[in-house]
Structure 1
Amino acid sequence: MADQAKRPTIARIWRGRVRRERADEYAAYLYEVGIKPLMEKALGVQNLREDRADESEFITISYWENVAAMSRFAGSDPTRIHNLPRDPEFLIELPKTVQILDILVSHGNTGGS
């Protein structure tokens, strides 16, 4: 389990879109196969969802001590996408990259559990 005393300096953001009628099924799959393993490695994880008329967008933000720690999980190129086995079945299009951002300021309770 991640050391909670460490402070994140990096956020890694992944986005994916699914057809609205499959959003609940994908949410459950994403949690079990993608989020749970990530929770064991990252300092923190947030999984967000926006439902629209025809599609739902999922955003996963993971927080890391530094790029080296993130690379131990994501590989030598932390921007490289690691698609889950069933992502081609669910996602409207497979993401080509993730965003990696430096955390400049973080304050307060971000919610979630």
Structure 2
Amino acid sequence: MIARIWHGRTSANDFEDYTKFMKERAVPDYQNTPGFIKLSFLRRLEGKEAHFTLITYWKNLDVIKNFAGEDFEKAKYYLEDEEFLLEFEEKVIHHEVFSEIA
């Protein structure tokens, strides 16, 4: 299993609106992708900014490429992200999951 980790920042004023957008738009997109296993969507306020970390879990790198394209380390964004994000980080991080406890 591979974990794909993305980070984004919005203004604190967009904290709830971006959360709602991600739940309504991004989460279903991930869930409907073959090879997707699960996700953890994290958020925190830090002064005037909000930080979002999305950890998605995938069967293998091939299914990540089906989702993200051949350049699978490149971050995937939605058009609506332009309304919220303060910057567009170019890359995501991948880790092999070697142990998991529920």
Map of 2:61 onto structure 1? 67
Q: How many equivalent pairs are there?
A: 100
Map of 2:32 onto structure 1? 40
The CA deviation at 1:36 is 1.4
What is the TM-score with the length of structure 1 in the denominator? 0.83
Instruction: Point out which structure has higher relative CO (alpha carbons under 8 A, 6+ apart).
Output: 2
Which amino acid is the alignment partner of residue 26 of structure 2? G
Return structure 1 stretches of 4+ with deviation > 2 angstroms.
none
- Whose strand fraction is larger, Structure 1's or Structure 2's? 2
Identity %: 27
SS of 1:58's partner is strand
Which stretches in structure 2 are left out of the alignment for 5+ residues?
A: none
SS of 1:27's partner is helix
* Aligned residue runs from structure 1 range 8-87, under 5 A: 9-41=1-33, 42-87=36-81
Which stretches in structure 1 are left out of the alignment for 5+ residues?
A: 1-8, 109-113
CA RMSD of aligned residues (A): 1.0
**2: CA distance, partners of 1:69 / 1:23:** 30
